[in-house]
Amino acid sequence: MKAMQLTGFGLDKLELEEIPQPEPGPGEVLVQFAAASLNPRDYQIITGQFTPNVEFPLVPLSDGGGTVVAAGEGVRRVAVGDRVTPLFFPRWISGEATSGQRSVSGGLEVPGVLRQFGVYDEQALARSAPHLTAAEAACFVCAGLTAWTALVTKSGISEGDTVLIQGTGGVALAALQFCNSLGAQTIIISSSDDKLARAQELGADHTINYQQTKDWGPLAHEISGHGVDAVIEIGGAGTLENSLAAIRHGGHVNIIGYMAGVEMGITVFPLIINNANLHGIGTGHRDDYEAMMAFVETHGIRPVIDRHYDFEEAGQGLADLAAGGHFGKLVVDIP
């Protein structure tokens, strides 16, 4: 079978190879992949920015969609013909994770999805909503579940609430779509007026260009009337002060990314004054993934995909992801 393998750090070390096709054992299934979606973490792993502890060769990428084509003895959770996605953390099934449940992740400690076939324990898979293509399903594994965990599991967002969303990447637009279906009001910030206009077309209620309005946190507080109920915090250190200025008393700041820095560097006073809830979000577990997929099916949600790449163009897709400029997700089609 064909697979893209990382033989060392760097996009130039991502090579198309022929490797043996695996066979499922007891309790395992064989998945034929049709698509993979790209995440910043994938680029960081490949370029050596995420961790030096990578065992080469590595099949990268955590998020893929495909179909079960063979099953080993005793498999009950899924069946041949089911359309599935592997879990980001294959051992994290429910509740708060122990270190062991998060110690293994796709595309790093175990092989990722940038290959034609993969063998998985049946417990490490979840069925996709039937209206989704493989490429669309792949967009929910990390980005979708991260947004769901922040909004629903941690922040308890419901009808009438207000959510501030930073940017227009995969997590941000998934959060926007979930908020639309939950009945929550949204405020989107971006440096691009074009992207803000496109976000409004997707249902964003309010937009702020943060290049033009440096103090966007107080403005978001004013727009919401009482302060926003939750923030999807993508920037990290560079945006946290404004996020804390935006929330209501008892509001939630869900820290997902660190595009604007990793060092917090803030005083404790805004946290105390706002009675703020800070949540570090690292995707989520299988129970939440399945709850999200049921919600996606009920509301007919489809992710926003900016571009598709051929299998051999995966490196270019990752380079484009790092360069920015995309609106939503980038995906790789697998032959």
Tell me the per-residue pLDDT of 45-83, one tens digit each, with 9 for 90 and over: 999 999 999 999 999 999 999 999 999 999 999 999 999
pLDDT tens digits for range 167-199 = 999 999 999 999 999 999 999 999 999 999 999
Q: Which residue type occupies 17?
A: E
Mean pLDDT across the chain: 95
CA distance 281 to 35: 25
* pLDDT at position 260 over 50: no
CA distance 207 to 191: 10
State both tokens at 13: 């070390």
Give CATH 3.90.180.10 domain extents, the chain. Answer: 2-139+303-333
3 state SS of 149: helix
The angle subtended at Cα 249 by Cα 245 and Cα 254, nearest 5°, is 65
CATH superfamily of 144-280: NAD(P)-binding Rossmann-like Domain (3.40.50.720)
Under the banding of pLDDT at 50, 70 and 90, the label for residue 272 is confident
- Domain 2-139+303-333: give its CATH architecture: Alpha-Beta Complex (3.90)
Give CATH 3.40.50.720 domain extents, the chain. Answer: 144-280
CA distance 168 to 185: 16
Percent of the chain with pLDDT over 90: 91
pLDDT tens digits for range 8-35 = 999 999 999 999 999 999 999 999 999 9
Region 133-154: mean pLDDT is: 98
3 state SS of 60: coil
The per-residue pLDDT for 268 is 73
CA distance 245 to 216: 9
52 or 276: which leads in pLDDT = 52
